[in-house]
């Protein structure tokens, strides 16, 4: 319903500024090639190329035969595409005494990563939940100790852990390494979960208590189902962290149980014979594939979770 | 005497050195609607959480239905609670939300279904049962939250500012519904709010709180017309009460209130407690109890000039001065004067409230 009086006023007002009426109207036009756009896109494209060139070189090299590599044109695409280096890296490359390629290390890494990720996330999420929602006596002290733990350099603890593992008879076994990874993931994951749970509305927790849910009931029925993003973040952090770990792998396992990263190093750094660059590149790519796939699958959730669990308090 | 539905006895709560509740006592009769009213930080929500068992008290006892529940878990206290942010479980349907507590209590399936059906019909949320909270509007969510308390079939309902997140129109609708619900069910209800309209309309009795203490606990009308101290007088009523600084004296043996050379006769004023004494005092008068240009049969009247006019729709608030002090008058909009008008204002000190300047207590 338009008011005639208001309309009349509008028209009269417009008449008073007649010359200006033909001026700009609606959204301001945008220039595609403004100086600002050229600068922004130029910088982004340059940075992208800078980071992609090594990957490009690796992929091309891994698809070339040795004779072609010896020509020395590392940037040129392969004249003859061959997947032999990939097969060799996976199945027949020699590391020390074994000549079954990376496959052994891959399965070792899987057997290390999966239980470590599951155990560390389950324990850390329960820790974080208890710290955030059940302010038990000594919670602050416990939390402080955990935070301090996150800042102690790993190197300090290597030897004591060797002794501990030897004493309980787990030194050199995969179980021992799983325990080490689970423990070292604890501080940062607990912090992550605590902050996420603390950001959930406290009234939900109170409502669940009035509804008679206990410690586990609230965790499994209320908190955990609401926390998918932070669980995804934790999975990504742990999978990439543990998969890429080299130090603990080389210290706490034996050649038979070496994880993939240690095996990769042994292939690439072998001193006898010809340096097979194509096999090395293929082996490196295979090793990096797992974290890469994880990122691609869960990228969106990862960003959401990181934003939600941003470190505070 | 009947067992009180809820009895809070000498409850104290400290957070470190901060005393949030100070030896607080309150007794709620069966079926009574009590509103805890106060500014933010006065401890009203804290008290509610203590009654619910969500906070441990530092000292004192809480009884519900004559049973000492001071150490009981929330679920064992026979209470249902409604929160400001609704606090619905987002991953469950409305039905899941309603049944969660009942499943935890291990009730048989048909009993759960029966109770949900009853609550849903009372609150008219039957069509929503299979939806998730995200697909509900604010008012619907709050209804479901009330339903969650309803299905528990408890004696005492606790409301923690349940309407604060709703817009003004919805708030007044749900306010009426809560009142209707109370009349239907006849449960004891304890309701926390900072909104005095909600408090006045809903309560059988209002407890006005400040600084962890109950300032006054009385029927809404008594709190409005006979506030016990300056804080309650200023907190209740919108627009707020006029306060005039002056002192008590006598003239010809009758008590008067003197300010800036003006004398207000207090012959009709009913003094409380210790009664009259000549000392500095504050004279309180509500803007709606002042007459403007209404003849001269008031016990007190004075000439004044209108300085500011605030139209509020049905009423208009006009600001003038009595002596040198600001004084607001509420008049019907059709009779509102203009800025600069000379007017005659008048009131009956019978409706005034006098407070001791030093202690702030009612005289």
pLDDT tens digits, B293-352: 776 678 888 889 999 999 988 899 999 998 889 999 999 888 888 898 898 889 988 889
pLDDT tens readout for residues A206-240: 999 999 999 999 999 999 988 888 898 899 889 99
Percent of chain B residues past pLDDT 90, beyond the cut? 61
Same domain? A76 vs A163: no
Q: Tell me, yes or no, whether A282 lies in a domain.
A: no
Same domain? B157 vs B250: no
**Which chain B residue has its CA at the smallest distance from A207's CA?**
B87
| Range 218-237 of A in CB contact (< 8 A) with B | 221-222, 225-226
Same domain? B143 vs B217: yes
Q: Tell me, yes or no, whether B363 lies in a domain.
A: no
pLDDT tens readout for residues B261-295: 888 988 888 888 667 888 899 999 999 999 887 76
Q: How many Cβ atoms sit within 10 Å of the Cβ of residue A126?
A: 17
pLDDT tens readout for residues A130-189: 999 988 888 889 888 888 888 888 888 899 999 999 999 888 889 999 999 999 999 989
Q: Is A217 on the interface with B (CB under 8 A)?
A: yes
Residue B88's domain is classified under what CATH number?
Answer: 3.40.50.300
The answer to whether B91 contacts A204, with C-beta atoms less than 8 Å apart, is no
- Classify the C-alpha dihedral A286-A291-A292-A296 as positive or negative: positive
Supply the pLDDT for residue B103.
Answer: 93
Supply the pLDDT for residue A1.
Answer: 46
Q: Is B87 on the interface with A (CB under 8 A)?
A: yes
Same domain? B212 vs B246: no
Rounded to 5 degrees, φ, ψ at A146 are -60, -45
Chain A environment of B75 (Cβ under 8 Å): 209-212
Q: Is the pLDDT score of A6 beyond 60?
A: no
Measured CA to CA in angstroms, residue B156 lies from B8, B63, B117, B164, B190 at distances of 14, 12, 21, 21, 8
d(CA A128, CA A313): 13
d(CA B240, CA B234): 6
For chain A, how big is the Rg over CA atoms in Å? 29
Same domain? B230 vs B247: no
Name the token pair of A13: 């007002």
- Classify the C-alpha dihedral A18-A19-A22-A28 as positive or negative: negative
The reported pTM is 0.81
Q: Tell me, yes or no, whether B362 lies in a domain.
A: no
Same domain? A236 vs A179: yes
d(CA B35, CA B219): 10
Q: Tell me, yes or no, whether A94 lies in a domain.
A: no
Q: Which of B203, B235, B267 is the last residue in one of the domains?
A: B235
> Domain containing A212: what range?
108-257+293-308
Same domain? B226 vs B248: no
pLDDT tens readout for residues B20-52: 999 999 999 999 999 999 998 899 999 999 999
Same domain? A127 vs A190: yes
Q: Which of B185, B201, B235 is the last residue in one of the domains?
A: B235
Same domain? B160 vs B252: no
d(CA B51, CA A38): 64
Read off the pLDDT band of A74 (50, 70, 90): confident
Structural domain count, chain B: 2
Q: Tell me, yes or no, whether A5 lies in a domain.
A: no
Q: Is the pLDDT score of A19 beyond 90?
A: no
Q: Tell me, yes or no, whether A198 lies in a domain.
A: yes
Same domain? A136 vs A181: yes
How close does chain B come to A221, measured CA to CA in Å? Answer: 9
Q: Tell me, yes or no, whether A48 lies in a domain.
A: yes
Residue B323's domain is classified under what CATH number?
Answer: 2.40.50.140
Mean pLDDT of B116-129: 92
Q: Tell me, yes or no, whether B361 lies in a domain.
A: no
Read off the pLDDT band of A310 (50, 70, 90): very low
Interface predicted TM-score (ipTM) of this complex, two decimals? 0.86
Q: Tell me, yes or no, whether B1 lies in a domain.
A: no
d(CA A212, CA B73): 8
Same domain? A187 vs A67: no
Same domain? A180 vs A119: yes
Supply the pLDDT for residue B117.
Answer: 94
Supply the pLDDT for residue B68.
Answer: 93
Q: Is B274 on the interface with A (CB under 8 A)?
A: no
Residue A222's domain is classified under what CATH number?
Answer: 1.10.3720.10
The minimal CB distance from A217 to the residues B49, B104, B160 is found for: B104
Supply the pLDDT for residue A9.
Answer: 52
Q: What is the residue-averaged pLDDT of chain A?
A: 85
Q: Tell me, yes or no, whether B93 lies in a domain.
A: yes
d(CA B34, CA B216): 12
Q: Which of B196, B211, B235 is the last residue in one of the domains?
A: B235
Same domain? A63 vs A130: no
Same domain? A234 vs A118: yes
Same domain? A117 vs A232: yes
pLDDT tens readout for residues B49-93: 999 999 999 999 999 998 999 999 999 999 999 999 889 998 899
Same domain? B224 vs B308: no
The answer to whether B84 contacts A211, with C-beta atoms less than 8 Å apart, is no
How close does chain B come to A24, measured CA to CA in Å? Answer: 39
Same domain? B35 vs B55: yes
Q: List Cβ neighbours of B54 (8 Å cut-off, separation of 6 or more).
A: A206, A209, A210, B74
Taking alpha carbons only, the member of A172, A194, A180, A178 closest to residue A313 is A194
Q: Is the pLDDT score of B185 beyond 50?
A: yes
> Domain containing B311: what range?
242-356
Q: Tell me, yes or no, whether A3 lies in a domain.
A: no
DSSP string, A22-66: GS--SSPP--TT-HHHHHHHHHHHHHHHHHHHHHHHHHHHHTS-H
Chain B environment of A209 (Cβ under 8 Å): 53-54, 73-75
Same domain? A49 vs A122: no
Q: Tell me, yes or no, whether B126 lies in a domain.
A: yes
Chain A environment of B74 (Cβ under 8 Å): 206, 209-210, 212
Same domain? B87 vs B121: yes
The answer to whether A211 contacts B101, with C-beta atoms less than 8 Å apart, is yes
Q: Is A212 on the interface with B (CB under 8 A)?
A: yes
Q: Is B54 on the interface with A (CB under 8 A)?
A: yes
Q: Tell me, yes or no, whether A100 lies in a domain.
A: no
Q: Is the pLDDT score of A306 beyond 70?
A: no
Structural domain count, chain A: 2
């Amino acid at each position: 319903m338009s008011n005639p009086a208001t309309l009349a006023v509008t028209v009269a007002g417009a008449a008073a500024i007649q010359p200006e009426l033909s001026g700009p109207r609606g959204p301001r036009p945008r220039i595609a090639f403004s100086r600002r756009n050229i600068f922004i896109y130029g910088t982004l494209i340059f940075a992208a190329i800078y980071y992609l060139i090594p990957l490009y070189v690796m992929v091309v090299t891994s698809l070339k035969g040795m004779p072609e590599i010896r020509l020395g044109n590392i940037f040129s695409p392969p004249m003859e595409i061959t997947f032999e280096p990939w097969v060799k890296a996976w199945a027949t490359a020699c590391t020390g005494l074994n000549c079954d390629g990376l496959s052994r290390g891959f399965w070792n890494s899987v057997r290390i990563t999966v239980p470590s990720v599951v155990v560390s996330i389950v324990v850390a999420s329960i820790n974080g939940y208890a710290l955030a929602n059940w302010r038990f006596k000594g919670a602050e002290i416990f939390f402080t100790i955990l935070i301090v733990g996150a800042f102690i350099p790993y190197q300090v603890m290597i030897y004591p852990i060797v002794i501990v593992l030897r004493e309980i008879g787990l030194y050199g076994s995969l179980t021992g390494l799983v325990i080490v990874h689970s423990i070292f993931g604890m501080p940062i994951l607990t912090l992550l979960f605590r902050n996420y749970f603390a950001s959930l509305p406290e009234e939900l927790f109170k409502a669940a208590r009035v509804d008679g849910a206990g410690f586990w009931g609230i965790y499994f029925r209320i908190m955990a189902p609401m926390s998918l993003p932070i669980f995804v973040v934790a999975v990504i952090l742990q999978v990439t962290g543990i998969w890429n770990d080299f130090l603990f792998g080389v210290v706490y396992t034996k050649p038979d149980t070496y994880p993939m990263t240690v095996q990769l190093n042994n292939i690439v750094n072998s001193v006898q014979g010809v340096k097979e660059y194509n096999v090395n590149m293929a082996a490196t790519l295979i090793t990096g594939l797992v974290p890469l796939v994880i990122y691609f699958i869960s990228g969106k959730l990862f960003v959401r979770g990181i934003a939600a669990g941003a470190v505070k308090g | 005497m009947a067992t009180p539905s809820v009895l809070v006895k000498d409850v104290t709560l400290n957070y470190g050195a901060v005393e949030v509740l100070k030896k607080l006592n309150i007794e709620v009769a069966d079926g009574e609607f009590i509103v805890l009213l106060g500014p933010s930080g006065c401890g009203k929500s804290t008290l509610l959480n203590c009654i619910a068992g969500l906070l441990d008290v530092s000292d004192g006892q809480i009884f519900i239905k004559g049973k000492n529940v001071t150490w009981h878990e929330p679920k064992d206290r026979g209470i249902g609670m409604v929160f400001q942010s609704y606090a619905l479980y987002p991953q469950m349907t409305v039905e899941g939300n309603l049944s969660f507590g009942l499943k935890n209590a291990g009730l048989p399936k048909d009993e759960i279904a029966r109770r949900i059906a009853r609550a849903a019909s009372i609150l008219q949320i039957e069509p929503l049962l299979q939806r998730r909270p995200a697909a509900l509007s604010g008012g619907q969510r709050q209804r479901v939250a009330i339903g969650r308390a309803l299905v528990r079939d408890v004696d005492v309902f606790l409301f923690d500012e349940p309407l604060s997140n709703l817009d003004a129109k919805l708030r007044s609708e749900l306010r009426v519904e809560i009142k209707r619900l109370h009349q239907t069910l006849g449960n004891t209800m304890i309701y926390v709010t900072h909104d005095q309209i909600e408090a006045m309309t809903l309560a059988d009795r209002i407890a006005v709180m400040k600084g962890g203490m109950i300032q006054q606990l009385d029927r809404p009308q008594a709190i409005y017309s006979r506030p016990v101290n300056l804080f309650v007088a200023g907190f209740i009523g919108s627009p707020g009460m006029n306060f005039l600084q002056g002192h008590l004296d006598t003239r010809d043996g009758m008590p008067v209130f003197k300010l800036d050379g003006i004398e207000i006769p207090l012959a009709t004023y009913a003094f409380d407690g210790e009664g009259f004494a000549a000392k500095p005092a504050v004279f309180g008068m509500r803007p709606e109890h002042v007459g403007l240009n209404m003849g001269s049969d008031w016990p007190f009247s004075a000439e004044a000039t209108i300085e500011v006019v605030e139209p509020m729709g049905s009423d208009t608030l006009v600001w003038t001065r009595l002596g040198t002090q600001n004084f607001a008058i509420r008049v019907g909009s059709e009779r509102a004067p203009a800025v600069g008008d000379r007017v005659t204002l008048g009131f009956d000190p019978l409706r005034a409230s006098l407070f001791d300047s030093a202690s702030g207590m009612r005289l």
